[in-house]
Amino acid sequence: MLANYLIGLREGLEAALVVSILVAYLVRSGRQDRLRPIWLGVSGAVGASLLAGAVLTFTSRSMSFRAQELFGGLMSVLAVCFVTWMVFWMRRASRHLKGDLQQKLDTALAMGTGALALTAFVAVAREGLETALFIWTAVQATGDTAAPVAGAFLGLVTAIVLGYLLYKRSVKLNLATFFRWTGAGLVVVAAGVLAYGFHDLQEAGWLTAGGLDRVVLDATGVLPPSSWWGTLFKGLFSISASPTRLELGAWLAYLVPTMVLFLRPAPRGGGPAPAPPAPAVHRPSSTSETVTS
């Protein structure tokens, strides 16, 4: 549940920040009349994410056991690829996210209502589809639907509240630091998803190296899967207490180099030019200012 809370929080806050920046820029520019397409795009993105989760669930249930394991393994690997790309992209782009979005919004305003809706849809759907895929793999890994979905839902609710407070400027959050440490947490989660994906591919007969019966160590006596400390261990480190050689190898091979690359200091300099300032428009003093990214 903890891992899924982190996924929901991280992905949800990215989406909430995007929506907050788009809405605040339109309000500050005196273009409140163009907010409706933004909300239509956001609604469409949420619907597409839910549909993706339903398609994944229905598709897997109609397969044979081996096909399910193969499908689950491949989807786990795909989820890891998406999340890895996402955390590195956000690490690089977090300082310039506001300017980039404002530039795209200026272009969309010039093109019309459809472009505005599409801008919001694409920005939010990317996070939603990644979340749907990751939560689906978590459900497959645990065999439990309630805990992963509840964790992700709580994370999304927290993200929405934080996004609203940032929009209202009730809280100040160092986004670069936030995304750095939540990204590090997601790297650990992704390592566990990759290990489980390799386990599925072993079950499907696609990977025979290591063997399902070749357990490196069996710590289930100390960390029973049904105990709270066993659940906490798996939630923190995303690895089984009795991993096979291939699972442990995949976990370490992904976790160590990815974490080193992710935590190394970001190169200085460069970056997209800041967006031009919004046109000065007289507005009531109660109008909310734009979000600081």
Percent of the chain with pLDDT over 90: 3
The packing angle between helices 175-203 and 2-28, to 10°, is 140
> How high does pLDDT run on average in the chain?
75
pTM of the predicted model as reported, rounded to 2 decimal places: 0.65
Question: What letters, b where the CB count within 10 A reaches 16 and e where it falls short, cover 46-77?
Answer: eebbeebbeebeeebeeeeeeebbbbbbebbb
How many domains does the chain divide into? 1
Q: In this structure, is residue 259 part of a structural domain? A: yes
Q: In this structure, is residue 293 part of a structural domain? A: no
Q: In this structure, is residue 284 part of a structural domain? A: no
- Give residue 288's pLDDT: 38
Q: In this structure, is residue 159 part of a structural domain? A: yes
Q: What is the pLDDT of residues 125-178, one digit of tens each?
A: 877 887 888 777 777 766 666 777 788 888 888 888 888 887 777 666 676 777
Q: In this structure, is residue 290 part of a structural domain? A: no
Domain that holds residue 40: 2-263
- Give residue 290's pLDDT: 39
- Give residue 272's pLDDT: 45
Q: In this structure, is residue 286 part of a structural domain? A: no
Q: In this structure, is residue 291 part of a structural domain? A: no
- Give residue 63's pLDDT: 78
Q: In this structure, is residue 211 part of a structural domain? A: yes
